[in-house]
Chain A
């Protein structure tokens, strides 16, 4: 592999600019004559907009324009859309309400934008925005998914009767009901998956520039997928044709899903840069705006029933979920609680009968869409809380119940679409229990009790689906785009290499891992490889980074392109060395004829490709190849997490004593980076389980709209993590990669809650396990005894 090839802990190439303050994020960019946008946002969760008086604002210092939704739609800017069509079980298409980037008739959540001010300075724009007088007729609001579908609830969109976007199902209802009816034991649960705010540390930002002479727009934006942004801005929102719109996602400070989507602000900044007649328009969210308007995550309420036979084998699993999608359907919102959630409800278990019904509903809250894990954390939470609860009710150990039901033969077709290709669930369970010294827990618990503390241990055996996804398959399920990836490998005449990729790095370290593939293949040092991404003028097309797909899909595309480059280089070398192509080997920067001392330097072959002086008959000069890779299946990372906690019964404070993660990610290119991804995922999963909660008041005001009230995980909230991997290769892609970006966030919440409920001996605990919630659960349990 070489010291910088596949499997090596190569230090990150991109770090130097970040540690010296030379990273270039969107808000760091400036353009001469640049103006600032400030949005006029609804303070009400639900209201009719009766009028907008812009006159005072228009006369204020520095103001170039005050623009509203009528002007936006008048200029032909289209509504924001959800790009994944989900059909209800009656066959009807989902009921998508209209979403204008600037609201015209109604506002539907606090923060909904109704107008924008373009001014010379940010302070001027904000002052003028305050001076825009909007006449609202306040309407009743509804904030929870369960309340939204009750009779008499306030109605958000005329398209969606009873606020129901779709009423969807998967699996066999009758067979599952019959299986449950015949079960020896049925375990029932109500499960809430709390709403989260993604909170990448870099707030969203957009810098839109209009070149009047060329009629050309350039958008710098905080995006995980600039090409998709350009496509949607062009084809659906009619901002400009694709050839007149360049989208650049420069350094991006974290995304976690929330920067996949195209938001109103980007649309408005682009449109306003032309409409206001200014050189450029910049908008950067402050943190409060981020809380109010970034797409939120999760927010499910679920009832679940699992049936077991007399041998504790699962016979049926029935799930009914209400998913709160907020006030509008964000770009991929429909797919998250359906195809990314219910398809994973088989977990790691052999379950013959599964049925899941999902109603996705509108409410007067921020739109909800994919957030790290996107549907799979919700699924693993349902499955793994259920397995733990069942083990307690059936009187068997949590490990034994899981082992009894593990899938052990692959491939395995579940009743909910997914066909698992490979895995070894016992291996990760064994590894995690050993690392956690599960057997020594009783002793540790006794020691805690001596100190007046409660101690608990919990596990979670998760599986998830990454590498999204085979284009034809997702197309048949309603996706509006294909989910392949592209790559181009450009070898320069001196042997250095540029890799252009449609994946986008916003913390994942692609500039390093992707270079390792090239280093591994040609023996060139990683420093001679440049990874180019995030600019639609440089990279022809790409689908971007989300769903832990950049390894399994993005790197597979690079591998395909490298295959082509390697083949051509070998042809050139074979010709020049007068050897058979099959005898040529590229190793450590040299191109050799196997079994001889005949060789060329890698750079000599590259130069030869460009001089064209001595190429095989009919060969085109140059050494540059592209590839599109369309996966054949999802990939299925899986693993086992163990969490051990100590709880202070007087205050309800939970202290994580240890957290063990044993994951199977298939082939690992850079273990250092993979471990970092797991750490980050775990922090977000533990954050959901213990700290984070987006709470709306009944009137639709967001009560957790800053770090004063939304509890972000801090260093002293978390332990060091014990992270290890087992390996079964993914048979579906050339490298055997499964994906590692989301696993931590998917597998950890149930492990934490299983541990806390074990400690307090009360299974009735809703996330987050905040001190107050835990104290309440302890005292309610005491009261019940």
Chain B
């Protein structure tokens, strides 16, 4: 067993986990944050994507102890107060989700994409950057649209904040 301490969605948390506990299981079972999902065993589907120290990570392929001392953001921590994050809003406005199971990972990957590449994303870039996120419902058409819109909104937001 190992003691872990981390910041999850802005709150400092501490607990004891088995060394073999995956970060996703710690979040889902230990912290009751069930918005992060598990859709495969081979690190490919991306339903489990969270941000660790600001970077998108597949939480099914990281031990909770590896995240000791880290700052974690999950889908539950994305919205500021009652307001949806622009990327969340864009998924709703563009019908970028159907069953919702891949959606948290999609949104976390999309936010990471904008953090890395900026708010002006073309279709080809978005599709290529989604290699690690599988959706079975939407055919990606509206996900791509959502991310382009969300990226643009995030870009506008960050410009405003900077001004």
A residues neighboring B (CB under 8 Å)? 11-12, 14-25, 27-28, 123, 199-203, 251-254, 256, 286-288, 506-509, 672-673, 675-676, 679-684, 706-708, 712-716, 718, 720-721, 744
Contacts and interface: CB of A to CB of B under 8 A. Distances in A.
B98 A287 contact: no
Most buried by A among B42, B98, B103, B104: B98
Nearest to A708: B42
B47 interface: yes
B134 A21 contact: no
Tell me if B's interface is mostly helix, strand, loop or mixed: loop
A460 B74 CA distance: 44
Most buried by B among A507, A672, A681: A507
A152 B99 CA distance: 46
A202 B97 contact: no
Contact of A286 (B34, B41, B88): B41
A714 B136 CA distance: 9
B40 interface: yes
A646 to B, nearest CB: 15
A17 B91 CA distance: 12
A268 B155 CA distance: 52
B95 A254 contact: no
B134 A707 contact: yes
B92 interface: yes
Contacts of B65: none
Contact of A707 (B36, B44, B78, B144): B44
A23 B40 contact: no
B92 A16 contact: yes
B31 to A, nearest CB: 12
B137 A507 contact: yes
Contacts of A718: 127, 139-141
B102 A201 contact: yes
Contact of B42 (A14, A21, A707, A713): A707
Given A201-B47, A716-B130, A12 B92 contact: yes
Contacts of B100: 14-15, 17-19, 23, 251, 253, 507
B39 A202 contact: yes
7 contacts: A20-B75, A21-B75, A27-B34, A200-B101, A707-B45, A720-B123, A721-B139
Contacts of A683: 136, 138-140
B1 interface: no
Contact of B79 (A20, A288, A684): A20
B142 A708 contact: no
Interface in B73-88: 74-76, 78-79, 84, 88
B149 interface: no
Which interface class (under 10, 10 to 19, 20 to 34, 35 or more) fits B? 35 or more
B137 A254 contact: yes
B41 A287 contact: yes
A509 B98 CA distance: 7
B126 interface: yes
B135 to A, nearest CB: 7
A98 to B, nearest CB: 32
A23 B36 CA distance: 10
A681 B139 CA distance: 7
B34 A716 contact: no
Nearest to B107: A19
B123 to A, nearest CB: 7
A508 B138 CA distance: 10
Contacts of B88: 19-20
B93 interface: yes
B143 interface: yes
B35 A15 contact: no
Contacts of A28: 28, 34
Contacts of B130: 714-716
A140 B102 CA distance: 40
Nearest to A505: B99
Contacts of A681: 139
A254 B98 contact: yes
Nearest to A253: B101
A27 B39 CA distance: 11
Contacts of A22: 35, 76
Contact of B76 (A12, A20, A256): A20
Interface in B23-64: 28, 33-42, 44-45, 47
Contacts of A18: 97, 100, 103-104
Given A680-B138, A716-B130, A718-B139, A20 B84 contact: yes
Contacts of A15: 91-92, 97, 100
Contact of B95 (A17, A253, A673): A673
A254 B35 contact: no
A714 B134 contact: yes
A111 B75 CA distance: 34
Contacts of A12: 92, 95
Nearest to B39: A201
A19 B101 CA distance: 10
A282 to B, nearest CB: 11
Q: Which 5 A-B pairs have the closest CB atoms?
A: A21-B35, A18-B100, A253-B101, A507-B99, A683-B139
B33 A201 contact: no
B128 interface: yes
A11 B128 CA distance: 27
A675 B139 CA distance: 11
Contact of A252 (B99, B134, B140): B99
Contacts of B136: 199-201, 254, 256, 680, 683-684, 712
Contact of B34 (A24, A682, A721): A24
A706 B40 contact: yes
Contact of B128 (A20, A256, A716): A716
B11 interface: no
Contacts of A253: 37, 99-102
Given A18-B103, A201-B47, A254-B98, 5 more contacts: A19-B92, A21-B104, A683-B138, A715-B126, A715-B144
Nearest to A678: B139
Contacts of B102: 201, 253
Contacts of B95: 11-12, 672-673, 675-676
A469 to B, nearest CB: 25
A720 B74 CA distance: 29
B3 interface: no
B98 A680 contact: yes
Nearest to B47: A201
Most buried by A among B42, B95, B103, B131: B95
B33 A21 contact: yes
A575 to B, nearest CB: 43
A346 B138 CA distance: 30
B139 A706 contact: no
Contacts of A27: 34, 38
